Amino acid sequence: MKLLQADHVSVTYRIPGRAPLKAVNGVSFELQPGDSLGIVGESGCGKSTLARAIMGLQPLSGGTLSYQGRNIADFNRQEAKEYRRKIQMIFQDAVGSLNPRMTVRQTLEETLRVHRMVKPDQIGHRIDELLDYVGLPGKVLGSYPREMSGGQCQRVSFARCLALTPQIILADEPVSALDVSVQARILNLIKELQRKLGVTIVLISHDLAVVRTICEKVSVMYAGEFVESGNTLQVLDHPRHDYTKHLLEAVPDVGRALRANGI
């Protein structure tokens, strides 16, 4: 069964005194368990609005989003809560998305407790397991977000999201605030989680090379619409839409730049 299906999803913002703004306009896609979809586009193309819609945080103005065959707009309270657990989000600002007054242990504990993920006496064990998944040493448990690097905080975000055994991880620019060497580590982590846990990944990014590294499928978004979708290698190596070509040409890629200069 399809895990998540978007069928002509539209989101329109209505601002008094202005023309309605179609932030997302008739977007369709489907995700099977274990899929990895990259959504690329520039600022203002509607990719974050789409993310909010997928999370159920933004009412649709048209189309439907179905989770395991059921329209998420029809969920009752219990189902909605369950859906919010099954789909987890990772944000760009890793430090900012953690509570500054909670240690790593408190952050993870709270998550496990609120959603009653494990029996209270199992919490410690589960936390160790989660740290292990994201490759953090046990000594970070007593640290506050400000005492850790951006890369470490992003790993804590991943641990927190894995605590809820999600089926889908929606990552909105998870590495764009990180240095290259740390970025590589987080990207490798995402790949590994995908392989080990079979979790479905939706990666929102402006960085085509990052998407190419992680995602099997890609959709290119422009002005609220998907202008080109397909297998990542196919789309990025043989783009058909002019916007995709334009975007690819603008990327300052090391390998390509060296070759273009005859080096």
Partner 1 sequence: MSKPLLEINNLRIRFTRDGKILTPVRSVSLRVSDGERVAIVGESGCGKSLTAMSITRLSPTDMAMVDGEILWRGQPLLGISQRELQKIRGRQISYVFQDPTASLNPVMRVYRQVTETMQGVDKAEKIRHTADILAKVGLPDPMRAALAYPCELSGGQQQRVMMSMALAANPELLVADEPTTALDVTTQKQVLDLMDRLADERGMALLLITHNLGLVAGRMERVYVMYAGEIVESGPVSEVLTSPRHPYTRGLLAAVPLLDAPPDRPLQDIPGTVPSPDAWPEGCVFAPRCPYADDHCRQCHPELRCGNNRECRCHKEIF
Question: Per CB under 8 A, does 95 bind partner 1?
Answer: no
Nearer to partner 1, 111 or 219 (CB): 219
The binder of partner 1 chosen from 122, 149, 165, 234 (CB under 8 A): 149
Question: Per CB under 8 A, does 121 bind partner 1?
Answer: no
Angle CA 35–209–238, to nearest 5: 80
Cβ atoms of residues 93 and 172 within 8 Å: no
| In the complex, minimum distance from the CB of residue 185 to partner 1, in angstroms, rounded to a whole number | 4
Q: How far is CA 76 from CA 79, 80, 82, 156, 231, in A?
A: 5, 6, 10, 31, 35
Question: What CA–CA distance (Å, rounded) separates 13 from 73?
Answer: 18
Q: Which stretch binds partner 1 (CB under 8 A): 16-24, 61-69, 183-191, 193-201?
A: 183-191
Subset of residues 184 to 223 that bind partner 1, contact rule: CB under 8 A: 184-185, 187-188, 206-210, 212-213
| In the complex, minimum distance from the CB of residue 254 to partner 1, in angstroms, rounded to a whole number | 5
Residue 110, C-beta contacts closer than 8 angstroms, at least 6 positions apart: 102
Show the binding pattern over residues 24-63: x = contacts partner 1 (CB under 8 A), - = does not: ------------------xx--------------------
Cβ atoms of residues 214 and 203 within 8 Å: yes
Question: Per CB under 8 A, does 257 bind partner 1?
Answer: yes
In the chain, alpha helices (H): 47-54, 77-86, 104-114, 123-134, 150-162, 180-197, 208-214, 232-237, 242-250, 254-260
Subset of residues 65 to 94 that bind partner 1, contact rule: CB under 8 A: none
Question: Per CB under 8 A, does 237 bind partner 1?
Answer: yes
Nearer to partner 1, 121 or 249 (CB): 249
Angle CA 42–48–50, to nearest 5: 110
Q: Which stretch binds partner 1 (CB under 8 A): 64-72, 107-115, 160-168, 178-186?
A: 178-186
Question: Per CB under 8 A, does 181 bind partner 1?
Answer: yes
Question: What CA–CA distance (Å, rounded) separates 159 from 182?
Answer: 17
What 3-state DSSP class applies to 217? Answer: strand
Q: Which stretch binds partner 1 (CB under 8 A): 11-19, 123-131, 162-170, 175-183?
A: 175-183
- Interface positions with partner 1 (CB under 8 A): 42-43, 149, 151, 179-185, 187-188, 206-210, 212-213, 232-233, 236-237, 246-258, 260-261, 263
